[in-house]
Amino acid sequence: MVSPVLYIAVPLAVAFLLPLTGRGTSAGRRGAGRELQAAVLLFVLGSSLLWLRTFVAGAAPVVVSTGGWPPPLGINLRLGATESLLVALAAATALGVSVHAMLARPRGTAEGETVGHDRRPTLELLMFVGAAGLIMTRDVFNMFVFLEVSSIATYALAVAGEEGRGLEAGFKYMFLGAVGSVFILVSIAFLYRMTGTLNLDGMAAALSGAAPGIVGVALSFLLAGMAVELKLFPLNGPAIDLYEGVSPSVMALVGGTTVNAALYAFWKMQSLFAAVQWTYVIAAVGVVGFVVANALAVRQKSVRRMLGYSTSAQLGLAVFLLPFVATGFVSGRAVVLLIVNHTLCKAGLLWFAGAHGGETRRDWREAFARSPFAALAMTALVLGIAGLPPFPGFWGKWEALTALAGTAHAWWIAPVLAGSLLEFVYYFGWLRQMHSRGAEVSEKARADTSASPDAPVGPRPAFSYVFAAASLAVGLWFMRDLTGPVATPAFVLGAAGLLLLALRALPGRLLGAAALVAVAAAGWVLYSGGHAAPNETGGLFLAIVLGGSLMAAIAALGAAPARRSYHGLFLLLVSSLVLLVGSRTLLGFFVAWELMTWTSYLLVAEGRRASRGAYIYMLFSGAAGFLVFGGLLLLEGAGLTLLGAGGMAASLAAGTGTAVAWAAVLLGAGFAVKAASAGFHVWAPDAYSEAPDVFSAFLSGVVSKMPVFGLVLLGARLVEGAGPAGELLASLRATFGGVDPAYVLAWVGGVTALGMTILAALQEDAKRLLAYSSVGQIGYVVVGLAMLTPLGWSAALYHTVNHLLIKLLLFLAVAGVIHRTGTRNMHEMGGLIKKMPASYISVLIGIIALSGVPPLSGFAGKWLVYSALIEKGWYFIAGVTMFASPVAFLYLFRLIHNIFLGQLKPEHREVREAPLALLIPQGALVLAIMGLSMFPDALLKAVAGITGPVFGATGVSLLADGSLSVSLGYLNAFGVMSMVMALFALFFAFILFVGPKTKKVKQLDMVYSAELPPGPSEIHYSYDFYRPYKRAFAPLLRVSFVSGWGRVARAAAAVADAGRRFYSGDAQVYLVYAVAFLVVVALVRVVF
Amino acid sequence: MTQGTLYLASALILILIGLACALMRRNLLRMVLGFAIMDTGVHLLIATAGFLPGRTAPIIDDPSLLAGAGGRTAAADPSALLVAAERVVDPVPQALVLTAIVIGVGVTALMLAYVVRLFAREGTLDVSAFRRLKW
Q: Given CB atoms, is B19 within the 8 Å cutoff of chain A?
A: yes
Give the DSSP H or E segment for A966. strand A964-966
Contact B110 A198 (CB under 8 A): no
DSSP A653-697: HTT--HHHHHHHHHHHHHHHHHTT-TTSTTHHHHHHHHS-HHHHH
Distance from CA of B127 to the nearest CA of A (A): 7
Query: What is the predicted pLDDT for the residue at A830?
Result: 85
Residues of B in contact with A189 (CB under 8 A): 42, 45-46, 48-49, 93
What is the rounded distance in angstroms from the CA atom of residue A102 to the CA atom of residue A249?
Answer: 13
Q: Are A51 and A84 in contact (CB under 8 A)?
A: yes
What is the rounded distance in angstroms from the CA atom of residue A956 to the CA atom of residue B128?
Answer: 79
Q: Given CB atoms, is A239 within the 8 Å cutoff of chain B?
A: no
What is the rounded distance in angstroms from the CA atom of residue A280 to the CA atom of residue A112?
Answer: 47
Residue A211 CB neighbour total at 10 angstroms = 8
Each residue's pLDDT tens digit, A860-872: 999 999 999 999 8
Burial class (CB in 10 A: 0-12, 13-18, 19+), A961: exposed
The answer for residues whose C-beta is within 8 angstroms of residue A114's C-beta and 6 or more apart is A162
Burial class (CB in 10 A: 0-12, 13-18, 19+), A530: exposed
DSSP A163-185: -THHHHHHHHHHHHHHHHHHHHH
Q: Are A497 and A572 in contact (CB under 8 A)?
A: yes
What is the rounded distance in angstroms from the CA atom of residue A171 to the CA atom of residue A777?
Answer: 61
Pseudo-torsion of CA A927, A931, A932, A937, nearest 10°?
A: -160
Q: Return the SS3 of A559.
A: coil
Give the DSSP H or E segment for A965. strand A964-966
For residue A455, which phi and psi values (nearest 5 degrees)?
A: -115, 85
What is the rounded distance in angstroms from the CA atom of residue A127 to the CA atom of residue A152?
Answer: 8
Q: Given CB atoms, is A140 within the 8 Å cutoff of chain B?
A: no
Residue of B98, B105, B133 to mutate, interface with A, max A Cβ within 10 Å: B133
Distance from CA of A305 to the nearest CA of B (A): 8
Q: Which amino acid, one-letter code, is at A929?
A: I
Q: Are A100 and A67 in contact (CB under 8 A)?
A: no
Distance between start and end Cα atoms, chain B: 48
What is the rounded distance in angstroms from the CA atom of residue A230 to the CA atom of residue A224?
Answer: 10
For residue A286, which phi and psi values (nearest 5 degrees)?
A: -65, -50
Residues of B in contact with A175 (CB under 8 A): 22, 31, 35, 111
Contact B100 A185 (CB under 8 A): yes
- Strand boundaries in A66-198, DSSP class E: 76-79
* DSSP symbol at B27: B
* DSSP symbol at A914: P
Q: Are A824 and A767 in contact (CB under 8 A)?
A: yes
What is the rounded distance in angstroms from the CA atom of residue A592 to the CA atom of residue A1082?
Answer: 45
Distance from CA of B1 to the nearest CA of A (A): 19
Q: Given CB atoms, is B125 within the 8 Å cutoff of chain A?
A: no
Contact B38 A188 (CB under 8 A): no
Mean pLDDT of B97-116: 93
281-320 of A, contacting B, C-beta below 8 A = 300, 305
Task: Tell me which residues of chain A have a pLDDT lower than 50.
Answer: 24-29, 107-116, 450-454, 725
What is the rounded distance in angstroms from the CA atom of residue A773 to the CA atom of residue A767?
Answer: 10
What is the rounded distance in angstroms from the CA atom of residue A25 to the CA atom of residue A29?
Answer: 6
Closest Cα partner for A769 from A1012, A398, A1022?
Answer: A1022
Contact A182 B15 (CB under 8 A): yes
> Number of residue pairs across A and B with CB atoms under 8 Å?
124
Query: What is the predicted pLDDT for the residue at A737?
Result: 77
Q: Are A692 and A561 in contact (CB under 8 A)?
A: yes
Closest Cα partner for A779 from A647, A887, A622, A922?
Answer: A887
Q: Given CB atoms, is A1082 within the 8 Å cutoff of chain B?
A: no
Closest Cα partner for A396 from A406, A408, A384, A407?
Answer: A384
Q: Given CB atoms, is A244 within the 8 Å cutoff of chain B?
A: yes
Query: What is the predicted pLDDT for the residue at A679?
Result: 84
What is the rounded distance in angstroms from the CA atom of residue A768 to the CA atom of residue A743?
Answer: 29
Each residue's pLDDT tens digit, B23-42: 998 999 999 999 999 999 99
Q: Are A135 and A87 in contact (CB under 8 A)?
A: yes
* DSSP symbol at A835: T
Pseudo-torsion of CA A272, A276, A277, A283, nearest 10°?
A: -40
For residue B24, which phi and psi values (nearest 5 degrees)?
A: -105, -20
Q: Return the SS3 of A78.
A: strand
What is the rounded distance in angstroms from the CA atom of residue A12 to the CA atom of residue A5?
Answer: 11
- What's the length of chain B? 135
Q: Point out the residue among B38, B39, B130 whose CB comes nearest to the CB of A171.
A: B130
33-92 of B, contacting A, C-beta below 8 A = 35, 38-39, 42, 45-46, 48-50, 92
Closest Cα partner for A184 from B96, B78, B26?
Answer: B96
What is the rounded distance in angstroms from the CA atom of residue A307 to the CA atom of residue A248?
Answer: 10
The structure's pTM equals: 0.91
* DSSP symbol at A765: B
What is the rounded distance in angstroms from the CA atom of residue A509 to the CA atom of residue A94?
Answer: 43
What is the rounded distance in angstroms from the CA atom of residue A737 to the CA atom of residue A524?
Answer: 50
Task: Report the residue of chain B nearest A1073, measured CA to CA.
Answer: B23
Q: Point out the residue among A174, A186, A1071 whose CB comes nearest to the CB of B23.
A: A1071
Query: What is the predicted pLDDT for the residue at A977?
Result: 85
ipTM: 0.92
Domains assigned to chain B: 1-54+89-135 (1.10.287.3510)
Q: Point out the residue among A144, A193, A1067 whose CB comes nearest to the CB of B130.
A: A1067
Question: A1031-1035: long-range contacts (C-beta < 8 A, 24 or more apart)?
Answer: A1033/A758
Residues of B in contact with A1064 (CB under 8 A): 131, 134
Q: Are A132 and A295 in contact (CB under 8 A)?
A: no
Burial class (CB in 10 A: 0-12, 13-18, 19+), A190: buried
Query: What is the predicted pLDDT for the residue at A1016?
Result: 60
What is the rounded distance in angstroms from the CA atom of residue A597 to the CA atom of residue A592?
Answer: 9
* A1039-to-A525, A678, A748, A1033 alpha-carbon distances in Å: 49, 12, 16, 11
Residues of A in contact with B103 (CB under 8 A): 145, 148, 152, 181
Distance between start and end Cα atoms, chain A: 49
Q: Are A728 and A649 in contact (CB under 8 A)?
A: yes
Q: Given CB atoms, is B132 within the 8 Å cutoff of chain A?
A: yes
Burial class (CB in 10 A: 0-12, 13-18, 19+), A205: middle
- Alpha helix positions (H), A230-276: 237-245, 248-254, 260-275
Q: Are A378 and A609 in contact (CB under 8 A)?
A: no
Closest Cα partner for A96 from A461, A470, A472?
Answer: A461
Give the DSSP H or E segment for A884. helix A875-900
Contact B118 A179 (CB under 8 A): no
Helix, strand, coil percentages, rounded to 5, for chain B: 70, 5, 25
Task: Report the residue of chain B nearest A302, measured CA to CA.
Answer: B135
Q: Are A958 and A941 in contact (CB under 8 A)?
A: yes
Residue B10 CB neighbour total at 10 angstroms = 14
